[in-house]
Chains A and B, each alone.
Chain A
Amino acid sequence: MRYVVKRLLQAIPIVLAIIILNFFLLQLAEGDAVDVLAGEAGSATPEYMAELRAKFGLDKPLPVQLAIYLKNVMVLDLGYSFRHEMPVSELIFDRLFATVLLMTSTILLAVGFGVLLGLVAAMGLNTWRDTAISIFALITYATPLFWVGLMLIVVFSLNLGWFPTSGMENFAMFYEGWDRVKDIAHHLVLPTITLSLFYLALYTRLMRASMLEQAGQDYVTTARAKGVTENRIMFVHVLRNALLPVVTMAGVQVGALIGGSVIVESVFAWPGLGMLAFEALFSRDLNLLLGIFFLSALLVVAVNLVVDIVYSSLDPRIEVD
């Protein structure tokens, strides 16, 4: 528990720095939320726009705006979205579920499959299985995400009709209860596959290398010298040690994953934070964008915490107290 608190305290300066950095970066962007709103509305007088700016607090000097924002963030008030006219926290929490769902399923699939493929490849080193897995991993990594996404839609939604093309739920039906869970799971399949294919390669390769490295360690020789079976050596001795770098990598990847999902969210109309951030950026919805950066930073910190705990449970040398 103390460890958790400590980690969270350590994260505070980082999160603040992220907010401040992005706050000033966004000031460099031309135009503001009012321009966008007025542009979308079709027409607006300069007086009206000035009024709007005053309403959003955009007329105040920058340091004051920042100070106000930071003061509010301290009490976890993320402010009001200019464009959506609702509290940022509400907007984000609406999307958080979808993001966390996609992220979790992607990590599980990518890590799970990556570990499995890496394992198979390492065990059949230099056989056709190893080669096939390596080539598969490389190709999935090298294929642009949106291409994979669109192709999966064409094949699995249009031609085979197995999965819906997009969205998170069936909006014609509005299922309840278990049916809804099943419906969401059904919608989750294609985006998860698309997103995890990219990361799959990473974990496969890492796992393979890690297995090979661990297989050359002295303790493996010891285990052999004890007469332990090869299967146990692989699946008990080596596997657990080989997983360590994979777990570390999974932690590092989380930040990238939230961002990397923009394209997948766009292709599959998945209502996640990535797309929201994208739209917020292009509508100069400062509060919303900063809120997303804030939350995703927290998310990364939280996931890393989980990763640390998982790591320490795998590796007794690391202690979390």
Chain B
Amino acid sequence: MNFRTWVGAALCAAGLAAGAGSATAQTAGGTLVYIVQPEPPSLASFLSTSGPIGLVAPKIYDGLFDYDNDLNIVPALAESYEVSDDGKTVTFKLREGVTWHDGAPFTSADVQFTVMEVLKKVHPRGPNSFREVMSIDTPDDYTAVFNLENPAPYMLRALSGYESPIVPKHLLEGQDPRNSDLATNPVGTGAYKFTEWRKGQYVRLDKNENYWKDGLPYLDRIVGRFIPDASTRTAAMENSEVMYGAYGAIPNIDAVRLRDMDGFSVTTDGYSMINPMALIEFNTKESPFDQAAIRQAVSLAIDREFLIENIWFGYGKPATSALSTNFSATGLYKAGLPNYPANADVDAAIKVLEDAGITADGDGVRARAVLDLIPYGEDWRRAGEYMKQALAPIGIELDLRYEDVPTWLKRVYADYDFQINVNYFYQLPDPVLGVHRHYGSDQIRQGTHFVNSSRYSNPELDALLAAGAQEADAAKRSEIYGQIQEILAEDMPVVNLFEMQFLTVYNDKLKDHATSALGAYGPFERVWIEE
């Protein structure tokens, strides 16, 4: 297999897309008001992958690539790239004539600085995405050569403006990037320039007149509004005060209602890079969930369809493996695994428990535990309440405990003071980026959030994970991940519940907002509003 890839085809595709767009006579001008919720802590997307930052920052910062809805690479700051035969050198040809919002020219030095000094050091996922990058050479202003220790095919999926924003070296050099003014006063190369952030109300971005894509963006201005209450967000959408709300800004129940109204639409596009998965984490070091059987029983007793239908109002897909079915495109997903019923199988669950010798006491209770869950909204609370009811018939009695974010994070990831925890993770475009962190022994990192809090440790699995990360051959890789999924379907340190489908609700007047795989985290340069 030849790993040398030119992106001519991709370029071509992009050109076509652009051509197709211009055929329908976009209207230039106008202001897009969209929902950003919650209010972001800062706009430092190079420091934080916090969701609301993602809704704003990628409009300001470009990445080397963008991705279309089929996850094909679309050139952005990099016009093309080339991977050496051994996969250890990746050369990017950068776009010429791009300037930062402050007028300074964009060069390969910015790319080198961003990856080596910023993303690899302070970005939450950067150290993982760029872990194989040893150095970056800049033979000229518009060429950046990444020297890798091992091949890292997944890296090319992590180069979007959301995941790996390219930041201005001249504004950050010599400072601690974590303490820089750039966090609240961002300067990028993107389609929109930062203008104003009124705390508690909105963040306003104005059109970048010198944007490197000719004639873009169409909009004069985009304004991200912060509206704390979900019902009010819906009302604002209905009243056309906002035109776009993604990542569950509009609760599913209202999205369903708006979908059936004139003038509004709902889409699940724009989340394929995120690949969110709802799941249960167990504390595998403590009774009762230290036994695989009881974890399997939990998986068997939960009615995934019910959760999707009644709490997420039909948006979602029952999980059938440790990996999302979205990985079937790359052949990594394995179907037909046991212990992932779409509908509850109480009998099977009880049988598993009985077989493992976990018997009921006089009250019919086999185990008692406290259920924690991610404090990110009402839906999760409903899920917790549902689980309490769903596990009662198999003799697992749950008490619910809802805490605020810091308490919960500390409990689960710092103190390991939990038993069963409902959560969701982004599996991201490659398992190495989003899935490995759950299971590897090296990911038992006390005090670090969203890693292996189950403290599940299996040397056999560790070896497979290591192999899978580096394996370049698709077939072999698929086989390795197959084995991984089989082991996990038995041991179940984490029970995947369902593949989440985030919803974007938008006003029908808003056009071309879903042209990127990044969706709401995309650059929005081609968005326009119909008169």
Contacts and interface: CB of A to CB of B under 8 A. Distances in A.
Direct contact of A and B (CB under 8 A): yes
Interface of A: 29-33, 35-46, 48-49, 52, 55, 83-86, 91, 94-95, 98, 146, 150, 153-154, 157-158, 161, 164-174, 265-269, 271-272, 275-276, 279, 281-284
B409 A39 contact: yes
Contacts of A43: 49, 124-125, 437, 448-451
Contact of B183 (A85, A157, A165): A85
B407 A31 contact: yes
Contacts of A282: 404-406
Which of A39, A91, A170, A265 is packed against the most chain B CB atoms within 10 Å?
A: A39
A268 B229 CA distance: 8
B422 to A, nearest CB: 16
Nearest to A50: B447
B241 interface: yes
A85 B409 CA distance: 21
A176 to B, nearest CB: 14
B263 interface: no
B48 A166 contact: no
B403 interface: yes
Contacts, number: 174
A231 B200 CA distance: 49
18 contacts: A33-B406, A35-B449, A36-B405, A36-B409, A37-B41, A39-B450, A41-B48, A41-B50, A41-B124, A44-B448, A158-B235, A158-B239, A166-B227, A172-B33, A269-B227, A271-B199, A272-B200, A281-B404
B42 interface: yes
Contact of A165 (B48, B178, B236, B404): B236
B410 interface: yes
B122 interface: yes
Given A84-B199, A91-B199, A168-B201, A269 B232 contact: yes
Contact of B235 (A30, A83, A166): A166
B457 interface: no
Interface string B197-208: 011111010000
Contacts of A154: 235
B157 interface: no
B311 to A, nearest CB: 21
B179 A55 contact: yes
Contact of B407 (A30, A91, A161): A30
A86 B124 contact: no
A43 B128 CA distance: 11
Contacts of A158: 235, 238-239
Contacts of B48: 37, 40-42
A164 B239 contact: yes
B416 to A, nearest CB: 14
A83 to B, nearest CB: 5
A36 B223 CA distance: 26
Given A43-B451, A94-B199, A171 B33 contact: yes
B202 A171 contact: yes
Nearest to A83: B41
B414 interface: yes
A165 B233 CA distance: 9
Contact of A29 (B202, B407, B437): B407
A161 B240 CA distance: 11
B381 interface: no
Contact of A30 (B49, B226, B406): B406
Nearest to A90: B199
B93 interface: no
Which range holds the interface residue count of chain B? Answer: 35 or more
Contacts of B42: 84-85
A165 B449 contact: no
B441 interface: no
Given A41-B48, A41-B124, A171-B225, A283 B405 contact: yes
Given A40-B41, A164-B239, A267 B448 contact: no
Interface in B167-224: 178-179, 183-184, 198-202, 204, 223
B411 interface: yes
Contact of B406 (A32, A146, A166): A32
Contact of A166 (B41, B50, B199, B241): B241
Contacts of A40: 41, 48, 50
A31 B415 CA distance: 10
Contacts of A83: 41
Contacts of B49: 41-43
B225 A269 contact: yes
Contacts of B33: 171-172
A172 B241 CA distance: 8
Contacts of A266: 228-229
Nearest to A31: B406
A150 B227 CA distance: 14
Given A29-B407, A39-B405, A167 B227 contact: yes
B145 interface: no
A169 B201 contact: yes
Shortest 6 CB-CB contacts between residues of A and residues of B: A31-B406, A271-B200, A41-B48, A42-B49, A43-B124, A30-B407
A286 to B, nearest CB: 11
B47 interface: yes
A39 B406 contact: yes
Nearest to A282: B404
B82 to A, nearest CB: 31
B248 interface: no
Nearest to A271: B200
Interface string B119-147: 00010110000000000000000000000
B38 interface: yes
Nearest to B40: A40
B39 interface: yes
A284 B406 contact: yes
Given A43-B449, A271-B199, A161 B239 contact: yes
A48 B120 CA distance: 13
B231 interface: yes
B366 interface: no
Interface string B394-426: 000000000111111111001000000000000
Contacts of A39: 405-406, 409, 449-450
B91 interface: no
A269 B407 contact: no
B239 A45 contact: no
B477 interface: no
Given A164-B241, A165-B236, A272-B200, A46 B445 contact: yes
B446 interface: yes
